Chain A
Amino acid sequence: MSEILAVENLKVAFGDFIALNNLSFKLDAGESLAIIGPNGSGKTVLLRALLHVTPYSGTVRWQKNIKIGYVPQKIEADRHLPLNLRNLLEAKSRVLKIKNGVIEKVVKDVGLDRERLRTPIGHLSGGEFQRALIAFALLGEPNVLLLDEPTASIDIPGEEKIYDLIHRLQDEHNITPVVVSHDLHFVYRYATKVLCLNKSEICFGEPQETLTPEALEKIYGPHKYYHHYYHKND
């Protein structure tokens, strides 16, 4: 499989504060990477460095001509904006000069009803809003999808559906997902690689081999991982 991403000695600092340090990993096309770690461990900062929107030192090397879709964790936008979903998707497709008809396709791909295009974005439910963001990211036919805690504001049944959707997009659209997640259940089920962070790299590899109780204790501190770990083994 061809290498899609290589990160070497990545470091991100904001003044004296070091958000990420000494991080190196590689990812092949067709894989699925989960990034886990406690709050403040640098997961979002890593995604932003991968997108080149935050300054960093070290190397972030993407495969040539890669197209990246991004689903941020929180949208600071006012949900009362007079924008419906079509307005938002049209804005991106016009900037990218994408032809008409693609909007209907991405909306269908993420499992949203076509009627939702007319819904003001503030009236979408948490799950619908998340799907809308994924649809936004899919415009432009990305090869890689970076998702920052895509289920953070969704209930548990909704969570499952979002993860199923990500998995389906991986299969049907040949997309390599990179997902920041708190949910170890997802990591075991869908990820082929897991990267554990706590400002620097704690572990990297296949989930079954990498996420030992010792590694989890190192990431989350003693006791806190048991719930996740044994939940998975039930």
Chain B
Amino acid sequence: MINEYFSVVLSVFAASAAGLVGAFALMKKTVLAGDVMSHLAIPGLGLALLWSLNPILGGGTTLILGAIVIWQLEKKTTLSSDAAIGVIFASSVALGALLINSEEDLIDALFGGFVKLSLNEFIFGMAVSIFVIVMLWILRNKLIIALFSEDLAAAMNIKTSSVNLWFLLLFALTILSGLQFLGALLAGSLIIIPAAAARQVTHSLGQFLAYSAIFAALSVVAGFALSSAYELELGPTVVVVAAAIFAVAAIKRKK
């Protein structure tokens, strides 16, 4: 185990990555598909607990598989793909709940709570967060053109399909790094809520990305402080803080 200071450092990096991924997901309108993807971690966590593996390994495997499935579904914009995403969502939560037979483990998987980190988990979490941030920086121009117009991107020989797959994988990795302290049900919220709040108060890309990352980091830091001061569950506290930031941003909304 390493001390709580490391947990805060890691969560700030993971949250910044989540804020940035969320900003692009919001512009790409893939927020919901991505949120559904986060639930795919649950059966993976269940299997990992069943076979006494590291939960990150189990959750990570099903998340990456989920990213690939959603990537395929996104190529088809039919009603059936919406329905398929709904089926995946419900069945993965149910399957996970069946696999995880201890109630305490189930609550941890859904809402987080593994606050005490091992050094390896810290290093892994930091590596994932930094990787996500660096990859987004590299992909950002192509992502922007592709989300603005796939036609324009195609005319510039940008491979939108591979850009989209990369983005979903980064999304999956971000969920994975948030899984431990937020849990599978709430990991997606740190991607969605800060980005939605940042959108309320910004009109240009640089500001939007910066505010989204800052709001996400602020949510986890304040969440940590409040949860340790009042002995609250960490995951839900972080999400409630993020929601409060969103409420303030919505009130101050820039016309």
Residues of A bordering B, CB below 8 Å: 48, 51, 53, 68, 70, 72, 75-78, 81-84, 86-88, 90-92, 94-96, 118, 120-121, 136
Say whether B73 faces chain A, with CB atoms less than 8 Å apart: no
Among the listed stretches B126-134, B197-205, B226-234, which one makes contact with chain A, having 4 or more residues with CB under 8 Å of it? B197-205
Q: With A78-B29, A120-B203 as given contacts, are A83 and B144 in contact (CB-CB < 8 Å)?
A: yes
Q: Taking each of A90, A95, A121, which has the highest tally of chain B beta carbons within 10 Å of its own beta carbon?
A: A95
Given contacts A77-B148, A83-B144, A95-B158, 15 further A-B contacts (CB under 8 A): A53-B151, A53-B155, A72-B152, A75-B149, A76-B149, A77-B149, A78-B29, A81-B27, A81-B147, A82-B203, A84-B203, A91-B140, A91-B144, A91-B145, A96-B156
Contact partners of A68 in chain B: CB under 8 A: 155
Which chain B residue lies CB-closest to A87? B205
Contact partners of A120 in chain B: CB under 8 A: 203-204
Interface of B is mostly: helix
Contact partners of A48 in chain B: CB under 8 A: 151
Q: With A77-B147, A94-B141, A95-B142 as given contacts, are A51 and B199 in contact (CB-CB < 8 Å)?
A: no
Task: Tell whether, in the assembled complex, residue B149 and residue A92 are in contact, meaning their CB atoms are under 8 Å apart.
Answer: no
Residues of B bordering A, CB below 8 Å: 27, 29, 140-142, 144-145, 147-152, 154-156, 158, 199, 202-208
Interface of A is mostly: mixed
Contact partners of A88 in chain B: CB under 8 A: 144-145, 148
Q: With A68-B155, A91-B140, A91-B141 as given contacts, are A82 and B149 in contact (CB-CB < 8 Å)?
A: no
Contact partners of A75 in chain B: CB under 8 A: 148-149, 151-152
Identify which of A51, A94, A96, A118 contacts B155 (C-beta below 8 A): A51
Pairs A–B under 8 Å by Cβ, sample size 14? A72-B151, A72-B155, A75-B148, A75-B152, A78-B27, A82-B199, A82-B202, A83-B204, A84-B203, A91-B144, A91-B148, A92-B145, A120-B203, A121-B148
Task: Tell whether, in the assembled complex, residue B203 and residue A51 are in contact, meaning their CB atoms are under 8 Å apart.
Answer: no
Task: Tell whether, in the assembled complex, residue A83 and residue B145 are in contact, meaning their CB atoms are under 8 Å apart.
Answer: no
Which chain B residue lies CB-closest to A121? B148
Which chain B residue lies CB-closest to A50? B155
Task: Tell whether, in the assembled complex, residue A118 and residue B204 are in contact, meaning their CB atoms are under 8 Å apart.
Answer: yes
B166 vs chain A, min Cβ distance (A): 15
How far apart are the CA atoms of A63 and B140 in the complex, in Å?
Answer: 32
How far apart are the CA atoms of A17 and B207 in the complex, in Å?
Answer: 46
How far apart are the CA atoms of A121 and B142 in the complex, in Å?
Answer: 17
Task: Tell whether, in the assembled complex, residue B144 and residue A87 are in contact, meaning their CB atoms are under 8 Å apart.
Answer: yes
Which chain A residue lies CB-closest to B154? A53
B134 vs chain A, min Cβ distance (A): 16
Contact partners of B148 in chain A: CB under 8 A: 75, 77, 81, 83, 88, 91, 121
Contact partners of A51 in chain B: CB under 8 A: 154-155
